[in-house]
């Protein structure tokens, strides 16, 4: 205050001025409080409004300045964010899967026929004209795309073509993987795409079923699972070839994954066995292909994970059920495509 060198006559108008400013400021506070009732937040001078929308484990924050959106943030509360390099699609990218990695079917009535060999698994690449069976429960196939299939927000991202038709679904669980270490190989973490049956009766994660090679190719194939159940993949009169994958030399093998409920199978009339489709989220479930959303990816604990995109996909037969003369429940795949590239 020294250099200001104020005298008494100057101080009085200054006090009046300060008082006036204080009054104005109180007035502004009143305005702000009123606005607060309407808006989430109003900052002084500019009309900044912030809306927070909380939906499940996602929080969307929208910031507007004078009604114009200036910022939109999506926050995933407690949701792990999976970091992985993105291989952007180019004009030359294929809409279908382009790399084959592994075919490990369960025994089944079309295994070792034209629908169930490693050669057939490779014919599925780059088209949707060939049919591959995965055999009974737990049988799977692993493929890759030549680009990262992006997770488009609020949209389905992948289409899996199967041979389901009205009242005859053979749902398969869909798993996705991002190439987190960027080595081009599916050696990272699989995330199950949560479908409509998640958590329902008969839905079992960490399910394991072991198949045992029969003494003769004419015999049914025994299975036992980690739930204490046993049974057979039964031979039928229409398909007489060995049901045991001929390239598997071990006498036993175990397949692990998620089992889906068989509650939609109705074999009360053996002449007309039906298997109603699930609501959403599975392969070989509905006519014309099944569209799935990468946002439904969950980790081993069932928690949602945030994936920007995926590089690999695994389809796995979900139901363990013998449908009599129709054979075992077994998921089939015609092709898999990046939905954003499908016209």
| Smallest distance, Ca ion to C-beta of residue 283, A | 9
For residue 14, CA distances in Å to 3, 4, 22, 24, 27 come to 17, 13, 12, 15, 20
The only residue of 120, 146, 157, 225 in contact with Ca ion, by rule CB under 5 A: 157
Stretch that binds Ca ion, among 89-97, 116-124, 226-234, 289-297 (CB under 5 A): 289-297
| Smallest distance, Ca ion to C-beta of residue 312, A | 8
Stretch that binds Ca ion, among 17-25, 186-194, 253-261, 266-274 (CB under 5 A): 186-194
The only residue of 117, 259, 295, 317 in contact with Ca ion, by rule CB under 5 A: 295
Stretch that binds Ca ion, among 81-89, 142-150, 194-202, 329-337 (CB under 5 A): 329-337
- CB closer to Ca ion, 225 vs 293: 293
The only residue of 51, 188, 217, 219 in contact with Ca ion, by rule CB under 5 A: 188
Strands 306-307 and 81-82 come out as: parallel
| Smallest distance, Ca ion to C-beta of residue 236, A | 12
Q: Assess contact for 64 and 55: CB atoms under 8 A.
A: no
Size of the site for Ca ion (CB under 5 A): 18
Is 88 one of the binding residues for Ca ion (CB under 5 A)?
A: no
DSSP state of 3: T
Q: Other CB atoms closer than 10 Å to residue 196's CB: what's the count? A: 16
Distance CA 20, CA 18 (A): 5
The only residue of 146, 225, 293, 338 in contact with Ca ion, by rule CB under 5 A: 293
- CB closer to Ca ion, 42 vs 169: 169
Q: Assess contact for 338 and 224: CB atoms under 8 A.
A: no
Is 166 one of the binding residues for Ca ion (CB under 5 A)?
A: no
- CB closer to Ca ion, 43 vs 155: 155
Beta bridge partners of 144: 99, 312
Beta bridge partners of 274: 266
Is 179 one of the binding residues for Ca ion (CB under 5 A)?
A: yes
Residue nearest to Ca ion (CB): 330
Place of tokens 């015999």: 219
Q: Assess contact for 53 and 60: CB atoms under 8 A.
A: yes
Residues 135-154 that bind Ca ion (CB under 5 A): 151-152
Distance CA 333, CA 315 (A): 8
Nearest to 177 by CA among 53, 315, 76: 315
- CB closer to Ca ion, 113 vs 224: 113
| Smallest distance, Ca ion to C-beta of residue 142, A | 12
Strands 230-233 and 221-225 come out as: antiparallel
Distance CA 163, CA 275 (A): 13
Residues that bind Ca ion (CB under 5 A): 151-152, 155, 157, 163, 170, 179, 181, 183, 185, 187-188, 284, 293-295, 330, 332
């Amino acid at each position: 205050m020294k250099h200001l060198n104020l005298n008494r006559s100057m101080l009085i108008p200054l006090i009046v001025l300060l008082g006036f400013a204080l009054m104005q400021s109180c007035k502004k506070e009143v305005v702000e409080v009123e606005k607060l009732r309407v808006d989430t937040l109003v900052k002084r001078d500019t009309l900044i409004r912030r809306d927070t929308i909380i939906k499940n484990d996602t929080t969307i924050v929208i910031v507007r300045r004078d009604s114009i959106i200036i910022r939109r943030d999506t926050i995933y509360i407690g949701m792990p964010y999976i970091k992985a390099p993105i291989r952007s699609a180019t004009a030359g990218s294929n809409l279908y899967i382009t790399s084959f990695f592994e075919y490990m079917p369960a025994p089944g009535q079309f295994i070792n026929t034209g629908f169930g060999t490693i050669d057939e698994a490779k014919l599925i690449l780059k088209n949707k004209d060939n049919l591959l069976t995965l055999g009974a429960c737990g049988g799977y196939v692993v493929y890759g795309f030549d680009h990262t299939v992006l997770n488009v927000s609020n949209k389905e991202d992948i289409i899996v073509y199967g041979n389901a038709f009205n009242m005859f679904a053979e749902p398969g669980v869909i798993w996705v993987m991002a190439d987190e270490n960027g080595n081009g190989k599916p050696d990272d973490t699989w995330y199950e795409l949560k479908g409509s049956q998640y958590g329902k009766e008969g839905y079992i994660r960490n399910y394991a079923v072991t198949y045992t090679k029969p003494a003769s190719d004419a015999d049914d194939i025994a299975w036992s699972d980690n739930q204490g159940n046993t049974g057979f993949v039964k031979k039928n009169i229409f398909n007489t070839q060995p049901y045991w994958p001929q390239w598997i030399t071990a006498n036993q093998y175990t397949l692990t994954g998620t089992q889906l409920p068989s509650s939609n199978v109705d074999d009360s009339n053996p002449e007309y066995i039906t298997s109603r489709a699930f609501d959403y989220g599975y392969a070989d479930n509905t006519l014309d292909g099944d569209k799935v959303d990468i946002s439904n990816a969950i980790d081993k604990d069932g928690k949602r994970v945030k994936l920007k995109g995926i590089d690999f996909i695994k389809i796995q037969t979900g139901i363990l059920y013998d449908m009599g003369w129709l054979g075992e429940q077994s998921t089939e795949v015609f092709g898999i495509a990046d939905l954003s590239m499908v016209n």
